[in-house]
Structures are given as C-alpha cells and as structure tokens.
Amino acid sequence: MIHPIEYRYGTKEMKRIWSEESKIKRMIRVEIALLKALAKKGYLSDEEAEKVRRNTLKVKAERVKEIEAEIRHDIMALVKAIDEVAECNWIHFGATSNDIIDTATATQLRDSVLILEEKIKKLGKLLAQKALEFRDVVCLGRTHGQAALPTTYGFRFALWASEIARHYVRLQQMKERLLVGKMSGAVGTQAGFGKDGFEIESEVMRLLNLKPAIISSQVIPRDIYCEYIEFLANLATTLEKMALNFRILQRAEVGEIMEKFEAKQVGSSTMPHKRNPIDSENVCGLARVIRGFVEPQHQSAILWEERDLTNSSAERITLVEATILADHILTRMIGIVSKIAIDLENVHKNLETQRGLNMSEAVMLALTKKGLNRQTAHEILRNVSLRAYANKTSLYEELVKEEIVMKFFTREELIELLKPENYLGTAKERVEKVVEWVNSVLK
C-alpha cells in the first residue's frame, strides 16, 4: 500500500464505491444495460442479453488488467474480457469508451451523493441541536482575533448550521445536472445507432437509474464535474472553518471548547499532559487537499474538439480522492460536534478579563440615545478605553470619572449597560429562527 487513502483516510462505504473492482463491475453493468437496450430494439434476443449478463460474473479484474497490459486500452480490454466468457456479436455495439466510463462514473457519483447528503443532513441537524443547547451561553465575540461585543455559543453554532444546510440545498440542485450518463458514440452523434439513438440511450439510463446528458461529444461535458469538485471544495471550506475555530477556542489561553479526549488517548509522545485537537487538525489539513483538486478538474474540462485524453489521468485522481476525502472529513466533523464540550467557567472568565472594555459600544449608543452626538460619544469612549488599557482598570472605573457620562447615567445604570447578557440584541431569537429554517431544509 502506498497511498494514505488505502490505509488511513476514508470510510469503507465510500472507498468501496470508488475501488477498482467496483469501477469494473459498474462498467460491465453499463455494457449489459446497452445489450438489454439493443435487445429491446430487436438487435438481439432478450435471452442472449441475459446469457451475457450471467457469464459476466466470471470476468475477473485481474484478467482485464492482463489484457490491458497487452493492448494498452482499458475499455477494449474490458470488452475482450467479456467476450472471452460470453461470446456475443453485440457487445459494445455503437458505443465508445467514454459511453461506458462516464456512465459508470455517474453511478459512482450517484451512490456517493447518497452518502454525502445523509451525512450533511446529520451534521446540519446536530449543529442546530447544539445551537439550541448553547443558545444562552454568553461568550466573548472576537473580530480580528481581538475582543469584540458579546455573542452566544448558540449563535456560532447556528451560523455553522446555516452553512451546512445551504450545502445540502446546493447538492439537491446539483444532482439534476450531475447524475447523467451517455450512450452517444465516438463524437456524440449516435451514428452507430442511427435513428434508434435516443431510445437506446434513454433505455440504458433508465436501467441504470440515471438521466441522459442533454448533449455530449465523445465525453460528457466536464463542467458538471467542475461543479461537483467545487461543491466538495466549498463544503470542505466550511468544515475547515469550523475546525479552525474549534482549534483556536481550544488553545490553552482560551480554553472555551474541548474536543472529546478518549480515556486511553495520547496527546504527545513526550508531553503527557497534552490534549491536542487532532481531529480538527485532520479536517483542516485534508480540506486543503480537496480544494487543491479544483484547478486540475477545471483544466480537465478544456479538451480539443470532440475530446482528447488529458482529462482521463487527472480524473482518476480528482473525482476519486476529492470524494473520499470529503466524506472522510464530513464523518470526522460529525464526531467532533457530537462530543464537543464547552467549559462554562472559562467562557465566563474570558468575558471578565475584558473588564467591560468590550461593552464600549453599548455605552456609546446609550449616550447617543440620551442626545449626545454619536461621533462625540465615540471619541469619549475611545479615550476612556485607552485610559483603561493604560491603567489596567475597568471601563466602569474610568467612565465614572467622566463628568459628561455621569451627567446622563447613574452608577447603577452604568453597571447594567456593562453587563454582556444585556447586550445581545436578537441573538437568541436569531438562533431559534435559524434552527427552524435548518430543520425545515433538512427534514
């Protein structure tokens, strides 16, 4: 074994779909579907087509590879291997190689999408559940990595849930364009089938639970594969964003979130105390690999006239690895979120360390509501905040020294203004609205 996908990354169910054995079996199914479609049009009998189908069970991947080593053509090797066990004049009649390859690939994509959409639904619902669970957990918001206004952990999870729900919607919309096959011959004109072309192609796709491409050359237009890889890259980006934030929030000096750490899990080979966020780091690393397939797949869409072969070698990698790795990190993220823990004590402590400085906007806007010019209020709070930073005092301690501020507020009113839980706007209501929407999309 050479590639980490073989022994380290990927789920068994997804790797099974994209295995070499699966690919050969699926291409054989396409050839059999073609024979059945030809039989329906009277080219051969149903009995002959069924006999070939039964005999193809004897085709071994090893034999296909032996023949390919001699003739250096994968689909002709497959056809010869079928012909060896089931002699029939009509095998591969009217078809070209990519009728078989692209249509078999469409069945792989179809089965992969079923797995992906179920896991996307599971993650989205899980995030929505966490959003409700943490709706009232007030925490320090951060922009530019610096303290900002208060928010809630429920709001953060609702934001991620909404992204995942949109990915689910995108996937549903994309299936119409993605899950198509072809049976259109060497340059797409169906010349080998004559006037029977549309009916033969439609019957093949019906048998394989696919739709026929509206038009193709020797290959299905690669824009649909580009869209698919872009979708996986977009999904991977959301997963990496979540994982990155889990890593940041798990940093020792923050300590608000913690990945589940198993009883016998080892964090470091030399530092026994370590509890590293390895699952989130795994997601981040592999998401970058998935996005790396976008460009080669786009290049694979740029083909000479009716086609050349430059896409073939690249797509044996891009489609397979992007799908397997996307499924892998999606599965990994479901595990992370399902066991994520929030340290409420540290969440509160991190809010308190700001000494009220992150509440400056609340005071500024309250002053404006009292009649002070907004820009004047901003300058007052800016200067007061700088003093608090310099003196290492609280915002409250510096505000009570400001005559113009105390002209408008009592000390008790200031204390209330500086409470994070009093400055959340519609955060809690937003969480509930988002969760309702997410659950309606993922029902």
In this prediction, residue 274 carries a pLDDT of: 81
144 included as an active-site residue: yes
CA gap 137, 120 in Å, rounded: 25
Contact call for residues 91 and 82 (beta carbons, < 8 A): yes
Q: What is the pLDDT along the chain (443 residues), one digit of tens a residue?
A: 889 999 999 999 999 999 999 999 999 999 999 999 999 999 999 999 999 999 999 999 999 999 999 999 999 999 999 999 998 999 999 999 999 999 999 999 999 999 999 999 999 999 999 999 999 999 999 999 999 999 999 999 999 999 999 999 999 999 999 999 999 999 999 999 999 999 999 999 999 999 999 999 999 999 999 999 999 999 999 999 999 999 999 999 999 999 887 878 888 788 888 888 899 999 999 999 999 999 999 999 999 999 999 999 999 999 999 999 999 999 999 999 999 999 999 999 999 999 999 999 999 999 999 999 999 999 999 999 999 999 999 999 999 999 999 999 999 999 999 999 999 999 999 999 999 999 999 98
Helix-helix angle 74-85:61-71, to 10 degrees: 130
CA atoms within 13 A on the CB side of 148: 9
Of the candidates 45, 268, 313, 338, the residue annotated as catalytic is 268
CA gap 10, 122 in Å, rounded: 18
Of the candidates 144, 269, 273, 440, the residue annotated as catalytic is 144
Closest CA to 157 of 177, 137, 181: 137
280 included as an active-site residue: no
Provide the 10 A C-beta neighbour count for residue 376.
13
Phi, psi at residue 371, to the nearest 5°? 120, -5
Residues 6+ apart with CB under 8 A from 153: 134, 137, 139, 342, 347
Cα four-point dihedral sign 174, 179, 184, 186: positive
Q: Please, is 214 exposed, middle or buried when counting C-beta atoms within 10 Å of its C-beta (0-12, 13-18, 19+)? A: exposed
Contact call for residues 49 and 39 (beta carbons, < 8 A): yes
Contact call for residues 301 and 287 (beta carbons, < 8 A): no
In this prediction, residue 64 carries a pLDDT of: 95
Q: Which residue(s) pair with 140 in the sheet?
A: 150
Q: Which domains does the chain have, with CATH numbers?
A: 357-417 (1.10.40.30)
Provide the 10 A C-beta neighbour count for residue 379.
12
